[in-house]
Structure 1
Amino acid sequence: MVVLALVNFVVDSAVTAPLIVLPEMLDHFGTGQAAWLNATAMLAGVLWAPLLGKSADLHGRRRVLVLTLLISCLGALVCAVAPSLWVFVVGRMLQGAALAAVFLSVAIVRGVCAPRTAMIVVGIVTSGSAVLNIASRFLVEELATEFGFQVLFLLSASVAAVMAVCVRAVVPESPVRTPGRIDVGGALLLGGGLAGVLGYVSLGSDLGWLAGGPLALLAGGVAALARWLLVSSRKPDPLIDVRDLSGPLVLTLLVVFLAAGSYQSMLQLIPLIGDVSADQHLGYGLADQGSVALLLAAPGLGVTLGGPAAGWLAARIGPASTLAGAIMLGTVVTLGMFLGVSRLPAALCCGFLLGVTVGALGTSGFNMAGSLASPERQGIVSSLVMVMVSIGSVVLDFVGAAVLESTAVVVDGETVNSATGVFSYVALASGAFAIAAVLVVLLVRSTRRGRGAPSPGLARDTV
């Protein structure tokens, strides 16, 4: 359990930690495309998660987890030495494989623990490393100031390599195997289609929504996604079998998609508002009130508490009801960021409670999806949760970045985000959480009606 909790620290170093040095990376590469620097790893998660989840069911969860950590290590090294933006993006795509460590850890836990115990352990494994994340925020900020943002990626590569060795030495291999094959073509169609659509969202605000280049990306992305859906519905063993998705599982995935995207977009906004001073009179700004590391450490503390608490509650009232509570809290707290963009105490409070929300969201989402899956399908079903986390994060990151780009203003010859853009950004995230709140109510009702569902874990733990 300790090793798997530390493995998830690799995920933070690959996905969340770079937010601390986001302004420095934007300056270094001379770009305003924050979403490409930040969300590329999440985008890669859409490609990596189903591939690695299916591979884990076929070839063993420990073996695939070690491979995942080594790929992330390689990606971090590429980012550290990248001479240009697009080489850096390639590194981030490789580093995004680390996201698979989350659901592979969950699948390993559910394979060795009884269902009720597993719910609690999942909360510890997915959230326990947040304690280290808090301390690392300040360390990374100091090291980046002294040596440049590249040091963050060197540290990430080192941690991934060490944890690969630890997993190989300590974690037992799962004896459960699922017959079948890996649909690499389906993964490429899914990942390429999403990249095309999101590329249009990112570049459209700069080049024009009707410009040839962005429209070509959109058309190619939509065509790839349509082809993936058509082919997947006909294959006997697709990467993601859309025909085998139950109503409760679909609702769970939609809730995770919206809530995770809203939370991740808020994390992307924090360093941007933290880099602006209230003295600039833009209507927002926290630069003179505290460090970005402090703002990003608050959610880490919340995650530490939210994950294990959600696991404990899920073992008693069920994962569906626990997930509903997390979504309701997230909706209220995201609305509170209307004050948090200009007042440090409000930002710290909202950041902490958003951390509680995401800790509970991840634990409850994995527990809910896992309770709907048979033992031999834990890897692929858990990967679907990670896919929705990745898609939601990427979509709202890119859409939010497009909102900021389209509403930017020029002050003293410098292009900066306007208050209109920042408040619209918060409204977008709040709306996503509100829709998730409606869906999670339907999920709770459906699980109460499904007392006779085939999954014994669901019947025991949610009724």
Structure 2
Amino acid sequence: MRRSSTGAGPHTSWNARLVGLIVVLALVNFVVDSAITAPLLVLPEMLDHFDTDQPAWLNATAMLAGVMWAPLLGKAADIHGTRKVLVLTLLLGGAGSLICAVAPHIALFVAGRMLQGASLAAVFLAVAIVRDACAPRIAMIAVGIVTSSSAVLNIASRFLIERLATAFGFHVLFFVSAFVAAAMAITVRTTIAESRTRTPGKLDLGGAVLLGGGLAGVLGYISLGSSLGWLAAPPLALLAVGVVALVWWFVGASRKPEPLIDVRNIGGPLKLTLLVIFLGAGAYQSMLQLIPLVGAVPAERGLGYGLAGQGSVALLLAVPAIGLVVGGPVAGWLAARIGPAATLAGGVVLGFVVSLGMLLGVAQLPVALCSAFLLGVTAGAIATSGFNTAAALAPTERQGVVSSLVVVGVSIGSVALDFVGSAVLSSTVVVVDGETMNSATGVFSYIAIASAAFAIAAVVAGGLVRRTRANRTPSAPGLERNPA
């Protein structure tokens, strides 16, 4: 019989012990938000402090590093135990936060953000603990709660951090993040039992470096090409290094007995799932990056957009958190009834509709708040359904690795669309009263790219639903008979 991470058999009904586990893991996910998403609140201040016009490097670097960290820590969890690796993940993220807090220049700050990227692994490690501890139908709902309920704390923290940053500078956010990470590492170590499932194997450190470095080179080309020229030597050199590293990684992954990501054993349904997550999560994250940039510009500038003076940036970033609280549990409840793949498809369709609404939301606060809330619902549905769909395709001994692929999809999609959006903005700037600002053309093109990503994701999700319906088992909606 499968043993749970609590030391007993899987939960088949709701009880106090399960609720306590969910509360702890939800707080773990709050650590992820404080490290990855919360810095958006002070993005304009960070841009001024480091004197740069590249928000993606300050914001998306942690996501980029997550591509390297996630499969590495996922494999480590399968080999050494989920709780042990989760504690390590929290400590790494906390160390990265401290580096960011004291970094005197952008290079060290980016290094800290890359270390913070390890925090992303906490999301799928928490999911793996839930799925190990619960029967499938209970697990689908519990995953939704764990991945989204931390947003309740995010709502209050947005306003607190905004006030603290105003009083003490943006660095205070990273000190708070480090403290929370350390506190949760101790909590996890003392309250959650270690999982008993083990999968023998070894870690592919070289593959992690090649994958992370290759993506950094390609995205560096996108970032620098918009300002230095797409055919300039430095961007082209970065592109060449990135492509060579990615090809080298892929060739190695196709030949190694235990690669970082086993590309040979990713079946069709899982590929479709990861593509939907890549596009959907990337579109959502890019829209989230746009909110503080639009929120810092007053409409009186006459640029055709701007929300400054109508409401605080904290309010605009708190509203998606409310939507996330709603979207995650509802998606889990729906997944237990209609299947996670169908729920995932519904989430990306909603995202497409909402992204179109942001064409008006960049100038009208009520529309922006409504769109931001529904974007949060979209994010909750995509995250919960993505984990549930991927986990349903994997055997017990591969839960850590397969769940990590979801984070890889989220990370690559978020980083790619963040960098593409930033490149569009920086290449379409205008000068107003001697100050360089984003143009309406850039802002609306940015939204159009996100909308197109949602639209493509919806089409792919439709194909995924058809595949899962063809292979559905009678007892578990949306589950594949074949392994990933």
Alignment TM-score, normalising by the size of structure 2:
0.94
Correspondence list, 1:300-311, <5 A: 300-311=321-332
Written as runs of structure 1 = structure 2, the 5 A alignment for 1:304-383 is 304-383=325-404
Aligned to 1:410, what secondary structure does the other structure show? strand
Establish whether residue 395 from structure 1 lines up as the match of residue 416 from structure 2: yes
Does structure 1 retain, via aligned residues, the 8 Å contact 2:72–2:205? yes
Q: 1:451, CA displacement in angstroms? A: 3.2
Q: CA deviation at 1:206?
A: 1.2
Distance in 2 separating the partners of 1:350 and 1:96: 28
Query: Map of 1:183-222 to 2, 5 A cutoff?
Result: 183-222=204-243
Partner-residue secondary structure (3-state), 1:87: helix
Mapped to 1, the partners of 2:126 and 2:416 lie a distance apart of 25
Pair 1:68 & 2:89 matched? yes
Distance in structure 1 (CA, Å) of the matches to 2:217 and 2:470: 40
Distance 2:264 2:385 in 1: 24
Please tell me the residue identity of whatever aligns with 1:292: V
**Cα distance change on mapping 1:50 and 1:459 into 2, 3 Å:** closer
Matched residues, number: 460
Question: Aligned-pair distance for 1:288?
Answer: 1.5
Q: Which deviations, in whole Å up to 9, do the C-alpha atoms of 1:414-439 show, x marking residues without a partner?
A: 10000000000000000000000000
Compared CA separation, residues 453 and 226, structure 1 to 2 (3 A): farther
1:80 aligns with 2:107: no
Aligned residue for 1:145? 166
Matching residue within 284, 294, 297 for 1:276 = 297
Aligned match of 1:422 in 443, 447, 455? 443
Distance 1:318 1:95 in 2: 33
Q: 1:299: which partner in 2?
A: 320
Pairing 1:435-446 to 2, within 5 Å after superposition: 435-446=456-467
Q: Secondary structure at the match of 2:143?
A: helix
Unaligned 5+ runs, structure 2: 1-21
5+ residue gaps in structure 1?
Answer: none
**What letter is aligned with 2:96?**
G
Alignment of 1:42 onto 2:42:
no
Paired residue for 2:125?
A: 104
* Identity across matched positions, percent: 73
Q: Deviations over 1:218-269 (max 9, x none)?
A: 0000010011111110111111111101111000000000000000000100
For residues 402-425 of structure 1, the C-alpha deviation after alignment (integer angstroms, 9 at most, x for no partner) is 000000011111100000000000
Partner amino acid, structure 2, of 1:2: V
Whether contact under 8 Å (1:374, 1:455) holds in the other structure is no
CA RMSD for the aligned pairs? 1.3
Which residue of the partner structure matches residue 184 of structure 2?
163
CA contact 1:286–1:342 (8 Å) conserved in 2: yes
Contact 2:218 2:242 in 1 (8 A): yes
Give the letter aligned to residue 378 of structure 2: T
Tell me how far apart the structure 2 counterparts of residues 177 and 19 of structure 1 sit (CA, whole Å): 38
Which of 155, 158, 163 does residue 134 from structure 1 map onto?
155
1:362-413: per-residue Cα shift (whole Å, max 9, x none)? Answer: 0000000000000000000000000000000000000000000000011111
Matched position secondary structure for 2:230: coil
2-structure distance, mates of 1:84, 1:381: 37
State the distance in 2 between where 1:459 and 1:101 align.
26
Q: Deviations over 1:44-93 (max 9, x none)?
A: 10010000000000000000000000000100000000000000000000
Query: What's 1:8 paired with?
Result: 29
| C-alpha spacing 1:459/1:265, structure 2 compared with 1 (3 Å) | closer
| 2:3 aligned partner | none
Segments of 4+ in structure 1 off by > 4 A?
A: 452-457
- TM-score, normalised via structure 1 length: 0.98
Code of the aligned partner of 2:81: G
**Residue 405 (str. 1) matches residue 426 (str. 2):** yes
Q: Is the 8 Å Cα contact of residues 322 and 360 (structure 1) preserved in structure 2?
A: yes
Deviations 1:108-130 (A, max 9, x none): 11111101110010001101100
Pick from 414, 426, 433 the counterpart of residue 454 of structure 2.
433
C-alpha distance in structure 1 between counterparts of 2:458 and 2:478, whole Å? 24
SS in structure 2 of the partner of residue 182 of structure 1: coil
Contact 1:107 1:378 (8 Å CA) reproduced:
yes
Distance 1:459 1:189, change over 3 A: closer
In 2, the alpha carbon distance for the partners of 1:332 and 1:424 equals: 16
Matching residue's letter, 1:90: A
Secondary structure, aligned partner of 1:282: coil
- Is the 1:373–1:455 contact (alpha carbons within 8 Å) kept by the matching residues of 2? no
- Residue 452 of structure 1 and its aligned partner are, at CA, apart by 6.3
CA contact 1:45–1:390 (8 Å) conserved in 2: yes
